[in-house]
Structure 1
Amino acid sequence: MTDSHGFAPQGTTGLPLYCVERTGFDAWRQLQVSELGSWVDAHAFTAVSGSVLLLPGNGGIAGAVLGIGDPLDPFSYAHAPFALPPGDWALATELDEGALNALHLGWGLGAYKFTRYKVPLRAPARLVAGSIDAETLEVMAACTRVRDLVNTPAEDMGPDQLEQACCELAEAHGARIEVVSGEDLLGQNYPAIYAVGRASHRAPRLITVHWGDADAPKLTLVGKGVCFDTGGLDIKAADGMRNMKKDMGGAAHAIALAGLVMARKLPVRLTLLVAAVENAIGPMSYRPGDVVNTRLGVSVEIDNTDAEGRVVLCDALARGAEDKPALLVDFATLTGAARIALGPDLPALYSNDESVAADWLEASGEQRDPVWRMPLWRPYLRYLVSNVADIANGGPSRMAGSITAALYLERFVPTTQPWAHLDVYSWNDTDRPGKPAGGEAQGLRAAWAMLKQRFA
């Protein structure tokens, strides 16, 4: 599904490519021969981040200068594959290891095109990269896995296909997979997952992948896998429903991160839990005002059927907490309120553990993969009070929507259980260099760095 032709084979000869920061441009300019310097001056080129200048030669193009910003930010380089003409390019600037890894990752992400249904108009420029760090390649694969899963329309990425993606991942890494689907969810005490997904012709399910040594520290990853969200009987307007194939973006992140954990052989006992459903409309739809039971025994009044993600997650989180892992992490495209508060590029991070939050934020800065911590402001639980059940999945107020959603999830996590929740958009609304419109991995690289720091 992915066009990965961003790198040329080893031994390929490429045109020279100079990666120059704005602050180092004057020094680079002074080293150039007068004719080339005049060419640069004529174009008023100053190596601002995201810029490219082609250099002339007797045979046409003799090379190029790439203006970069932060040399450790992969997206400083991600404009290159489509800003440069197609062909092979060889780095002519000395970069340290961190910057070189960032270049490779940014080039790979910048060369990405989702090609399952449409042939790209042009190929990306290729980088003569030589030997690429193995971890960089695996992080790149994880990011593109998220993009591919989210970009695939719901017709081809329903609960069955999400299960298949988990099966392929488990088979690749020698993991064990279990699936509970349809009415078996009731028999095995996952009533909330069943309630949300029962209206669809595609059976709801809980997918579980187990990997790692039994005596290793336990790590549990949970993903919201709502493969399409109509809103249920509280149906979304057309604009709100248009991109709801991305509502399984949390599951895509959890699957991709689990793949990284296994590929890099992080010394943990991993459990991946994906609650895969379609929030459809039909005679079996759950209704506003219904009271739904949950695995934990907490009753939930359904204020709004469009707040379904938290309903399926509460069963998955309760199951994940039963193993008492050293860390429980969930990913979910949970609220529009998080986007109103932070915009599309900043996932909202919640945690009941200060060290987990601090580690994730530190990794976010180091990896140039932003997340923003939000408060679990427990007085806002008043917005989830129900007169007929233990808790409601929403309420009449539009205040603090992302916070109240996180508080709802926290209700299903033991107070002693270290837990973090990432409310992630998983999407680029518009085309930007290295960030094509469509599915996007957000906070994933930071999450991986955080897990390495805690468990490696």
Structure 2
Amino acid sequence: MSLSFAPRDTPALPLYIVPQAELATWLTDQPDPVARWIKATAYDAAPGALALLPDGSGALAGAVIGADGPKERVRGRFGLARAASQLPQGVWKIASPLAPDEAEEAALGWLLASYRFARYSRDPDAPCALLQAPQGVDATRVEAIAAGEVLTRDLINTPASDMGPQELEAATRALAEDFGAAFNAVTGEDLLRHNFPMIHAVGRASPRAPRLLEVTWGEAGPLLTLVGKGVCFDTGGLDLKPASAMGLMKKDMGGAATVLGLARMIMALALPLRLRVLIPAVENSVAGEAFRPGDILTSRKGLTVEVNNTDAEGRLVLADALALACEDAPDLVVSMATLTGAARVAVGPDLAPFYTDDDGDAQTLLHAGRRVGDPLWRMPFWDPYEEMIEPGIADLDNAPSGGMAGSITAALFLRRFAQGTRYIHFDIYGHQPKPAPARPKGGVGQGARAILDALPGLLGI
């Protein structure tokens, strides 16, 4: 797959973006062969519809794609990316004027349209047409963002047979080495000696040892700590999932994959900050050593947790990592996790729900998400529900009964371990259920590009 733009001095064919209502006006400015061809083929510039354009000799002169309003919304998010796989191979350029935000989204979508997860396939990648970066677009920045997204997708798409805690550690270590970052891992029984008891409890039943992964990078600037849920496969533990719910559980490390993709973007762009990445990497398995319903675990923070469902394990491993994150007084902690089905019921697979107590941070994120086409939705840290996560027998309940407000109660649980720290939590899905422009079916990053765009406002960099 190509994650690079064609050089701007390369000869390129023009691609015109024409809103359907403006087709007649556009045709008046075109050469006669183009105008006659469009009329002869009854092309109507319907949103997303593509037409190749001939010159007077019958050779290819360019192409036109229909739009339904603002040019960047060619039939939805990343709509222009539809053209990348439909156009003949070669180099193309966008010949219609675009606003800066529109041009950046169009350029990124084009690169991401070339993504294929081909690790296990004998079929060659389907080649995509190349694009020159539009004028005014920072090609290096867009290429770095695309590379981070591809890392996230590849990690999520890799099955658990090849992406267990050890393999996730290897991928994290490789990323750190690529950018000269420091790497550390605490593994197996050492988790108890270093006071990560809940990470150990969740992962101890698997022959693939649990671990806490850490990357640190940067020498100056505000400290940003990213915490990603790295449950490489989730059987549900002794509260075993049905087969229908287990089929996508290779993606339960989607939070870890997303923070690693975001970390790659930050380091590649050399942002003026200090970065710390923490990933509790485990497999939630069934064995004689598995933690049990009714067990009470003592966390790194000292809070006790009654386990009322072993399938609510993600918040347990995140809790120990969040407690560690807050010990260094970071300027901002962001956790990302494929945490609850309740979030998907609430907002579906497209939107990334997030939680924050800071209205200003929420607006900064929402604005960034709209600007870069990475849609977010704010959810409430609803304080009246705090009593739902207090079982009485312990400080906290990992799975309140009643089945209500599941995403909110999970977020409130995590907030207990980040108390006193500026904290934002994302409850993402990490999977594209059906193909869409620039987003083939499978693993997908959510929220990372919005966070990247928001960092100047969030951290004052």
Answer yes or no: same fold by TM over 0.5. Answer: yes
Question: In 2 relative to 1, CA 72–130 (structure 1 residues): closer, same or farther, beyond 3 Å?
Answer: closer
- Conserved 8 A contact 1:356-1:418: no
Deviates more, 1:11-20 or 1:243-252: 11-20
Preserved contact between residue 3 and residue 112 of structure 2 (Cα < 8 Å): no
Q: Is the contact made by 1:56 and 1:63 (CA closer than 8 Å) also made in structure 2?
A: yes
Q: How many residues align?
A: 452
Structure 1 residues 107 and 276: alpha-carbon distance in aligned structure 2, compared to 1, 3 A threshold: same
Name the TM-score, length of structure 2 as normaliser: 0.92
Which deviates the most, 245-254 or 265-274? 265-274
Give the SS at the match of 1:66.
Answer: strand
Cα pair 1:286 1:305 within 8 Å, conserved: yes
Scaled by the length of structure 1, the TM-score of the pair is: 0.93
Inter-partner Cα distance in structure 1 for 2:414 and 2:141: 32
**Equivalent in the alignment of 2:181:** 175
1:409 to 396, 407, 414: 414
Return the offset for 1:50.
Answer: 2.0
Shift of 1:208: 0.8
Note if 1:103 corresponds to 2:106. Answer: yes
Q: Percent identical across equivalent pairs?
A: 47
Please, which of 308, 322, 332 is the counterpart of residue 327 of structure 2? 322
Match of 2:283, SS? Answer: strand
Task: Please tell me whether residue 63 in structure 1 is matched to residue 66 in structure 2.
Answer: no
TM-superposed CA distance for 1:11, in Å, is 4.9
Q: Deviations over 1:148-205 (max 9, x none)?
A: 1111111111111111121112112221111111011011110010111111111111
SS at match of 2:232: strand
Q: What residue in structure 2 maps to residue 380 of structure 1?
A: 385
Partners of 1:130 and 1:34 lie apart in 2 by 27
Question: In the superposition, relative to structure 1, how do residues 192 and 88 fare at CA in structure 2: closer, same or farther (>3 Å)?
Answer: same
Question: What is residue 275 of structure 1 aligned with on the other side?
Answer: 280
Distance 1:230 1:94, change over 3 A: same
**Who is 2:87 aligned against?**
84
Residues 322-349 of structure 1 deviation map (CA, whole Å, 9 limit, x = unaligned)? 1111111000000111010000000111
Q: Provide the secondary structure at the position in 2 that maps to 1:79.
A: helix
Q: Which amino acid aligns with 2:438?
A: G
8 Å CA contact retained: 2:107, 2:134:
no
User: Separation in 1 of the partners of 2:247 and 2:118?
Assistant: 20
Q: Please give the alpha-carbon distance, in whole angstroms, between the structure 2 residues aligned to 1:185 and 1:103.
A: 45
1:132-171 equivalent positions in 2, closer than 5 A: 133-171=139-177
Distance 1:76 1:204 in 2: 41
Label 1:412 to 1:46 Cα distance change in 2 as closer, same or farther (>3 A).
Answer: same
- Post-superposition Cα deviations, 1:337-363, rounded to whole Å, max 9, x if no partner, equal 101000000011101222221211111
Secondary structure in 1 aligned to 2:240? coil
Could you tell me which runs of 5 or more consecutive residues in structure 1 were left unpaired when the two chains were aligned.
none
Give distance in 1, aligned partners of 2:446 and 2:411.
Answer: 18
In structure 2, the partner of 1:117 is 120
Retained in 2: the 8 A contact 1:211–1:270?
Answer: yes
> Residue 298 of structure 1 corresponds to which residue in structure 2?
303
Query: Counterparts of 1:315 and 1:13 in 2: how far apart (Å)?
Result: 55
Larger displacement relative to structure 2 (112-121 or 428-437): 112-121
State the Cα distance separating 1:445 from its structure 2 match.
0.9
Q: What residue is the counterpart of 1:39 in the other structure?
A: 37
Residue 457 of structure 2 corresponds to residue 453 of structure 1: yes
Change (3 A) 1:121 1:207: closer
Q: AA paired with 2:109?
A: G
Equivalent residue for 1:52?
A: 50
SS in 1 for 2:143: helix
> Unpaired runs of 5+ in structure 2?
none
Task: Give the aligned CA root-mean-square deviation in angstroms.
Answer: 2.1
Tell me which residue corresponds to 1:200: 206
Q: Deviations over 1:289-330 (max 9, x none)?
A: 111110011111111111111110000011101111111100
Counterpart check, 1:400 vs 2:399: no
Contact 2:365–2:451 (8 Å) recurs in 1? yes
Are 1:216 and 2:221 matched, yes or no? yes
Greater shift in the superposed pair: 329-338 or 10-19: 10-19
Q: Larger deviation: 402-411 or 42-51?
A: 42-51
Q: Name the aligned partner's letter for residue 229 of structure 2.
A: K
Partner of 1:190: 196
Distance 2:146 2:19 in 1: 24
Rate the CA distance shift 1:152–1:189 in 2: closer, same or farther, 3 A.
same
| Offset, 1:92 | 3.1
Supply the AA of the counterpart residue of 1:210.
Answer: T
- Secondary structure in structure 2 of the residue aligned to 1:389: coil
Mapped to 2, the partners of 1:26 and 1:109 lie a distance apart of 32
> What code does the residue aligned with 2:449 have?
R
Q: Is residue 226–residue 333 contact of structure 2 (8 Å, CA) maintained in 1?
A: yes
Q: Distance in 1 between matches of 2:193 and 2:21?
A: 64
Aligned to 1:442: 446
For residues 248 and 231 of structure 2, the distance between their equivalents in structure 1, rounded to whole angstroms, comes to 12
Which whole-Å CA distance do the structure 1 matches of 2:183 and 2:126 have between them?
Answer: 40
Contact map agreement 2:294 2:308 (CA 8 A) in 1: yes
Q: Distance in 2 between matches of 1:25 and 1:363?
A: 32
**Partners of 1:20 and 1:28 within 8 A in 2:** yes
Contact 1:219/1:328 (CA < 8 Å) preserved in 2? yes
Task: Specify whether residues 188 and 55 from structure 1 end up closer, same or farther in structure 2 by C-alpha distance, changes over 3 A only.
Answer: same
